[in-house]
């Protein structure tokens, strides 16, 4: 832990942990920065080191009081969860891959690296775009009006469209090209609902009384689902419906159900973005 | 500044300006004596003898012109059908002016998201658009459509322009949007 | 028509036009094969190497430009030439769109790992990117780069974008993984 503290301070010595989100553009950007700072090949990243730093950045963001936007938080969480998974796999004794979960882990790593590599490629291209724009900006086009003598030769101008079509063109050009306001694409599809995962978790725990987090996440289609289930557990824990038990650090996380055997459990929706339904839009008009 | 540098700089400037430029202006920009500029202009004019263009001083200002020898090709190009039809860019610019007149060139540029200098000149040249005073605050030249524009579109007056959909933001709303773009 | 005549005629025409001219238009006006026009344009561009101007084909059309070497002198004349610099985020988003077009916003978000809503809005408003229909399955709006984008980057066409492959390490299976991410 001391190591990660030191390295984090090296990044921003003047402000300690006070990292501002504007320093980097999203989790991929941060991860690339961390990786390049260690001059490591992206495919041979010293995962524990980078993971520790990544997590401490997230902590420092929390402490900085800037707060999180949900979309940012989920993006960082997904990357953090993947990194933690990978780090955990590294720490465990390496054995044969005989487990479907291990395979899934390897797949998660490949996907994260592939996405990072892809991002890095576009980052490099972006730099070349800037160079091209700078070069193009040095050359100015010849922009002249037709010589009056030549203009006099021109036949009558043809507007080429009628008044209706002309109005349609005006309308298209004058309409501000603003994308739709209710945007949900920023939660990578498919969307995962914490509320929905919460119900599944409650059901599973009521049945089994006690189970490990690992087994609770068997069958999770994506890392996002794992994150959602974890968030659901945290909320249920807050309400006193379950107990966590972990014998050793990074060991198996056991969850025991202590809540009611049946009946409704208050399920949080604070993690889910409200979906604007068609019949709710009337209210919005008043805004 | 060497002779070659003076020559090239003058060529570059005259290539992109529309209005003729005086020797004094060139000398000021290049920070060389007027004599040097005059010499350079003579040297350049000579070097263009076998080219399709030439330099000419008209009303004390210098500008590139097509060479008189090549006027048949130029006239053919101008007369060729392609020139009397408005391009998409010209049409869009004309539409903005028609529905937002009087309007400055900067405003039209902001709405269309591109530099409209060349297109505006074409529209003025074709008699579809004309200057109409200046904007009070900025001093920018305002433009409006001409009666020739109405004639070509087959309209009696501007009131006959088809109305735009009511949901379009008015000028005030547009200002805010444009304002936000400059951040 | 002799080579010299073709050269001079092209020079003369390009000197009077207010918008870029395609090789085909030049060939039609001069009544020569397009090959001859292409040859002439190459010959002319070479002959301008030590001049203050040059010929460039951007977005499919040729016109005269001031030589990049002379930009300091020209900048003094061009007042509204200062374009706002694009931010790093905007450049990266533009790069993704340029190479993956037509592409949905969600897809760009996934590649960059962040929400690109605000940046996309800026790019659309700057005229660099525009909507281009909808994706069949999802109904998501697709985006592509505009011709103004080509102009700003000084490109003749999208084919002139340098290939993406050299920026990606040659790893087994990377393509497949990237492909699977697009689902």
Nearest CA of chain C to the CA of B160: how many Å? 30
Tell me if B16 and C126 make a contact (CB, 8 A cut-off). Answer: no
Whether residue C79 is contained in a domain is answered as no
Measured between alpha carbons, how far is B13 from B29 in angstroms, rounded to an integer? 10
Residue of B nearest to A157 (CA): B84
Residue of A nearest to B112 (CA): A173
Measured between alpha carbons, how far is A195 from A206 in angstroms, rounded to an integer? 17
% of chain C exceeding 90 in pLDDT: 44
Whether residue C174 is found in the same domain as residue C101? yes
Measured between alpha carbons, how far is A273 from A279 in angstroms, rounded to an integer? 17
Whether residue C122 is found in the same domain as residue C178? yes
Do strands B141-145 and C61-66 pair parallel, antiparallel, or not at all (unpaired)?
unpaired
Q: Are A71 and C115 in contact (CB under 8 A)?
A: yes
Residue of A nearest to B18 (CA): A144
What integer pLDDT is reported at residue C24 of this predicted model?
A: 93
Q: Are B62 and B14 in contact (CB under 8 A)?
A: yes
Whether residue C78 is contained in a domain is answered as no
Q: Does A178 touch chain C (CB under 8 A)?
A: yes
- The residue of C10, C12, C59 whose CB has the most chain B CBs within 10 angstroms, and thus the best one to mutate to test that interface, is C12
% of chain C exceeding 70 in pLDDT: 88
**Domain-ending residue, one of C71, C96, C112:** C71
Instruction: Indicate the SS3 state at residue B62.
Output: strand
Q: Residues of B with CB below 8 A from C6's CB? A: none
Measured between alpha carbons, how far is C12 from A147 in angstroms, rounded to an integer? 12
Tell me if C16 and B115 make a contact (CB, 8 A cut-off). Answer: no
Measured between alpha carbons, how far is A53 from A19 in angstroms, rounded to an integer? 12
Nearest CA of chain C to the CA of B62: how many Å? 14
Element (H, E) at C130: strand C129-134
Whether residue B67 is found in the same domain as residue B93? no
Q: Residues of C with CB below 8 A from B8's CB? A: 50-52, 67, 69-70
Q: Residues of B with CB below 8 A from A151's CB? A: 125-126
User: For B85, which DSSP code?
Assistant: B
pLDDT tens across the length of chain A (287 residues): 333 333 333 443 333 333 333 456 677 887 777 776 666 555 556 666 777 777 777 777 777 666 666 666 677 777 777 777 766 665 665 555 556 666 666 667 777 777 778 888 888 888 888 888 888 888 888 877 677 677 777 777 777 788 888 888 888 777 765 443 444 444 445 567 888 888 888 888 888 888 888 888 877 777 778 888 888 888 888 888 888 888 877 778 888 888 888 877 777 666 676 544 444 333 333 33
Whether residue B66 is found in the same domain as residue B133? no
Whether residue C65 is contained in a domain is answered as yes
Nearest CA of chain A to the CA of B33: how many Å? 26
CA distances A165 to B88, B154, B161, C130, Å, are: 13, 13, 11, 21
Model-level ipTM above the cut of 0.90: no
Note which residues in 54-83 of chain B have CB less than 8 A from chain A: 64-65, 74-75, 78-79, 83
Contact partners, residue A59, CB within 8 Å, separation at least 6: A17
- B33 has a pLDDT exceeding 50: yes
The C-alpha angle with vertex A154 and arms to A151 and A156, in degrees rounded to 5, equals 120
Chains meeting B at 3+ CB pairs closer than 8 A? A, C
Closest CA to A83 of A100, A105, A63: A105
Tell me if B29 and C65 make a contact (CB, 8 A cut-off). Answer: no
Considering its fold, how many domains does chain B have in total?
2
Phi, psi for C87 (deg, rounded to 5)? -75, 165
| Tokens linked to A49 | 């080191």
Residue of A nearest to C110 (CA): A188
Whether residue C105 is contained in a domain is answered as yes
Q: Residues of A with CB below 8 A from C164's CB? A: 121, 125
Whether residue B46 is found in the same domain as residue B11? yes
Claim: this prediction has a pTM higher than 0.80: no
Whether residue B170 is contained in a domain is answered as yes
Q: Does B91 touch chain C (CB under 8 A)?
A: no
What integer pLDDT is reported at residue A18 of this predicted model?
A: 35
Asked, as a colleague might, if the bond just before B116 is cis with ω within 30 of 0, I would say no
CA atoms within 13 A on the CB side of A100: 7
Instruction: Indicate the SS3 state at residue C65.
Output: strand
Whether residue C96 is found in the same domain as residue C62? no
Whether residue C138 is contained in a domain is answered as yes
Asked, as a colleague might, if the bond just before C102 is cis with ω within 30 of 0, I would say yes
Whether residue B93 is found in the same domain as residue B172? yes
Whether residue C59 is found in the same domain as residue C121? no
> Tell me, what CATH number does B66's domain have?
1.10.10.10
Whether residue B101 is found in the same domain as residue B59? no
Whether residue B135 is found in the same domain as residue B164? yes
Measured between alpha carbons, how far is C115 from A71 in angstroms, rounded to an integer? 7
| Tokens linked to B45 | 């004019």
Asked, as a colleague might, if the bond just before B102 is cis with ω within 30 of 0, I would say yes
Measured between alpha carbons, how far is C32 from A153 in angstroms, rounded to an integer? 24
Q: Does B7 touch chain C (CB under 8 A)?
A: yes
User: For A43, which DSSP code?
Assistant: G
> Across the strands, what pairs with B54?
B65
Measured between alpha carbons, how far is A259 from A202 in angstroms, rounded to an integer? 9
Phi, psi for B148 (deg, rounded to 5)? -65, -35
Whether residue C37 is contained in a domain is answered as yes
Whether residue B167 is found in the same domain as residue B93? yes
**Domain-ending residue, one of C71, C96, C131:** C71
| Tokens linked to C43 | 């010959």
Nearest CA of chain B to the CA of A152: how many Å? 9
**Domain-ending residue, one of C71, C101, C122:** C71
Q: Residues of C with CB below 8 A from A77's CB? A: none
Whether residue B83 is contained in a domain is answered as no
CA distances A18 to A8, A35, A57, B11, Å, are: 10, 20, 9, 54
Nearest CA of chain C to the CA of B91: how many Å? 14
Whether residue B67 is found in the same domain as residue B104? no
Domain region containing C64: 3-71
Measured between alpha carbons, how far is B111 from B181 in angstroms, rounded to an integer? 11
């Amino acid at each position: 832990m001391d190591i990660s503290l030191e390295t984090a301070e090296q990044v921003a010595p003047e402000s300690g942990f006070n990292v501002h989100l504007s320093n980097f553009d999203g989790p991929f950007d941060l991860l690339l920065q961390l990786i390049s700072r260690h001059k490591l090949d992206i495919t041979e990243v010293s995962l524990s080191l980078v993971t520790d730093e990544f997590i401490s950045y997230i902590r420092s963001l929390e402490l900085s009081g800037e707060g999180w936007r949900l979309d940012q938080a989920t993006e960082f969480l997904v990357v953090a969860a993947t990194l933690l998974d990978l780090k955990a796999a590294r720490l465990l004794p390496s054995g044969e891959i005989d487990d479907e979960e291990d395979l899934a882990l390897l797949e998660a790593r490949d996907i994260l690296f592939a996405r990072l590599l892809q991002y890095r490629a576009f980052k490099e291209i972006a730099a070349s775009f800037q160079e091209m724009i700078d070069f193009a900006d040095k050359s100015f086009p010849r922009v002249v009006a037709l010589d009056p003598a030549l203009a006099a030769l021109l036949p009558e101008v043809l507007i080429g469209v009628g008044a209706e079509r002309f109005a349609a063109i005006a309308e298209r050009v004058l309409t501000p090209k603003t994308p739709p306001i209710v945007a949900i694409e920023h939660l990578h599809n498919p969307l995962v609902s914490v509320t929905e995962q919460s119900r599944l978790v409650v059901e599973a725990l009521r049945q089994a009384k006690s189970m490990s987090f690992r087994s609770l996440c068997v069958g999770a289609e994506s890392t996002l689902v794992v994150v959602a289930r974890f968030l659901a557990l945290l909320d249920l824990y807050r309400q006193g419906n379950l107990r966590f038990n972990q014998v050793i650090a990074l060991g198996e996380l056991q969850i025991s159900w202590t809540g009611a055997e049946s009946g409704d459990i208050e399920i949080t929706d604070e993690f889910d973005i409200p979906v604007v339904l068609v019949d709710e839009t009337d209210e919005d008009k008043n805004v | 500044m060497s002779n070659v540098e003076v020559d090239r700089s003058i060529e570059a400037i005259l290539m992109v300006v529309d209005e003729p430029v005086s020797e004094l202006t060139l000398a000021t920009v290049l920070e060389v004596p007027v004599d040097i500029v005059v010499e350079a202009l003579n040297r350049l004019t000579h070097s263009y003898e076998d080219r399709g263009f030439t330099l000419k001083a008209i009303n004390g200002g210098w500008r590139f012109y097509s060479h008189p020898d090549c006027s048949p090709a130029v006239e053919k190009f101008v007369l060729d059908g392609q020139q009397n039809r408005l391009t998409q860019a010209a049409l869009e610019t004309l539409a903005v002016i028609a529905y937002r007149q009087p309007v400055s060139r900067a405003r039209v540029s902001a709405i269309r998201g591109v530099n409209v200098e060349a297109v505006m000149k074409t529209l003025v040249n074709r008699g579809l658009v004309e200057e109409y005073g200046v904007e009070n605050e900025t001093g920018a030249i305002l433009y409006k459509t001409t009666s020739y524009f109405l004639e070509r579109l087959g309209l009696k007056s501007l009131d006959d322009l088809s109305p735009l959909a009511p949901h379009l933001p008015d000028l005030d709303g547009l200002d805010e949007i444009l304002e936000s773009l400059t951040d």
